Structure 1
Amino acid sequence: MESFISPGLQYGLEHSTLTCWIICGILALFSVTSWAVILSKHFLLSRVHKANLSFLREYRESNHALELYQQREPHEFSSFYHIYHAACREMSWYLLGEDEPGTTFAARLQGAGRITPSQMSAVQVAMERSVAEAALRLEARMGWVATTLSSAPFLGLLGTVWGILDTFSTLTSAGSTATLATLAPGITTALVTTVLGLLVAIPSMVCYNALVNRIRGMVVRLDNFASELNAGFDRTFVDHRFSNEALPSMSALGSPSMPAFAGTSSSPLPSPKHAVHARA
């Protein structure tokens, strides 16, 4: 059966030294770890995307902003749901004084008033915190892929330099009797690590860029959903009417007192007119 490995690479592996095998083992470990993260991240992002679309459809079809929160049906893989749940918990606390929907939640909500803009700011902070946590979950373990794509070429270069040094050592020992057949194993072995390093780094780089673009798009959609949720809560639950309490006038506040500086007299400062005459 014909081998799928190129003859040069196969020849280099057959004549590899211990150092070459150690570097190849490290590259293999990096490759396995990188592909495990890439595949798991791909399936996770696909599942999160489908869960977000499903929850967004339910949210937009609901009759009330807190209807899904009252039903208490968790959407484990939906980042939208976690943002919505965090906002609803904060909103429920300011409206009803409880952060979990009970048996009388719907009845109490009918008689609840509205919250102030400052309280709505706290709800918005809860949404922003949930968006940041969701983004961190999406970006988790991507550092392994970045480490692989940046380290693999340097490990391959290390093996190449090491192999060339061994080749020069062999050339010095052989002296004038050195031939191409004598130097070929060392040179081929030196180039094997570079080839393997590139074979590990290039796919990792392509997949890393693709995953990063998908994650950035999902983070943007998280921000857009948080803005949509914030606007809906603001229209439904926030009282923007002006307060009837008037602000005090400037005269009622009194004039500010200026502390006396140490070492200065208590006599008033000359007026600007007198200062001009004094200079004249």
Structure 2
Amino acid sequence: MPPIESLLSPGLQFGLEHSNLTCWVICGSLALLSITSWAVILSKHFLLSRVHRANLSFLREYRESNHPLELFQQREHHEFSPFYHIYHAACREIAWYLLGEDEPGATFAARLQGAGRITPSQMGAVQTAMERSVAEAALRLEARMSWVATALSSAPFLGLLGTVWGILDAFSTMTDAANTAGLAALAPGITTALVTTVLGLLVAIPTMVGYNFLVNRIRSMVVRLDNFASELSAGFDRTFVDHRFSTEVLPSMNALGSPSMPAFTGTSSSPLPTTMHVAHARA
């Protein structure tokens, strides 16, 4: 295997050979940012793959079940599936409104046979629970992505900082030299300064590719969560919600009584306000 030095360009190798303390500090910071960001990217990639497989497994079991609450009654657990958590949150709300308990007990199936239906307003609470579960799943999927965004945005600026710092040092060294001037004296400092910019771009460009890849996967996963919540809401609405109109009637106007108004007596000495006076008063 060829040595690492042979894989570097001559200019980059020359710059690393003449690097100063500032250059090495910035290069170390860039290496730390790269390691952190790629650790997050790879771990998030494997997590999303595992979540996708868990969602497919749960969705297959849910669509093969004979009753919408069958998996809830059997206490099936799919810990890595956000679909399962959305389903479980909805089932807990429905079980509470139907049976007065949010966990299936020994008599859950028997009591469910004699249970009625829930109202549309109660179904709204079930939908709120599903929306809350979707939001929590989205937050878990997006966790630690800010670390990657920080590395992506700060790496070029760190490289630019090292370049500007190195150029200032190079000009300062050339000015302090007694008899040396010209490009030969300036070249080592300039090359060392440009090393940090190159390394900053080498950190930022692959991180940007990985970050965009993960963002697209997370966005598509959140869309699937919303679609599953909509599908679940529609199925529960058809099965458990009573959409019949209520027989309750509004009270009549007579039951409300008459408004209290001061009675007018014709013995008052003040004249009745005319339409012009009323309009003037309103103006």
Structure 1, gaps ≥5 residues long:
260-266
Structure 1 outlier segments of 4+, above 4 Å: 255-259, 273-278
Aligned to 1:218: 221
Residue 99 (structure 1) shift: 0.7
Amino acid at match of 1:270: P
| 146 and 258 in structure 1: CA distance in 2 versus 1, 3 angstrom threshold | farther
Q: Is residue 45 from structure 1 mapped to residue 48 from structure 2 by the alignment?
A: yes
Rounded to whole Å, the distance in 2 between the matches of 1:200 and 1:139 is 21
Which of the residues 203, 206, 210 maps onto 2:209?
Answer: 206
Aligned to 1:182: 185
Which of the residues 153, 159, 166 maps onto 2:156?
Answer: 153
Q: Is residue 95 from structure 1 mapped to residue 107 from structure 2 by the alignment?
A: no
Q: What is the percentage of aligned positions where both structures have the same residue?
A: 85
1:1-280 correspondence to structure 2 within 5 Å: 1=2, 3-175=6-178, 177-254=180-257, 270=273, 272=275, 275=278
| 198 and 249 in structure 1: CA distance in 2 versus 1, 3 angstrom threshold | same
Structure 2, gaps ≥5 residues long:
263-269
Rounded to whole Å, the distance in 1 between the matches of 2:97 and 2:143 is 33
Rounded to whole Å, the distance in 2 between the matches of 1:225 and 1:27 is 41
Rounded to whole Å, the distance in 1 between the matches of 2:23 and 2:253 is 82
Amino acid at match of 1:211: L
Q: Secondary structure at the match of 2:7?
A: coil
Post-superposition Cα deviations, 1:228-270, rounded to whole Å, max 9, x if no partner, equal 11111111111111122211123432455689xxxxxxx8983
Residue 150 (structure 1) shift: 0.3
Rounded to whole Å, the distance in 2 between the matches of 1:175 and 1:105 is 93
Post-superposition Cα deviations, 1:98-130, rounded to whole Å, max 9, x if no partner, equal 111111111111111111111111111100000
RMSD: 2.2
Rounded to whole Å, the distance in 2 between the matches of 1:183 and 1:168 is 7
Q: Secondary structure at the match of 1:10?
A: helix
Matched residue pairs, number?
271
Amino acid at match of 2:125: A
Give the TM-score normalised by structure 1. 0.91
Rounded to whole Å, the distance in 1 between the matches of 2:173 and 2:272 is 94
Residues 53-62 or 127-136, more deviating:
53-62
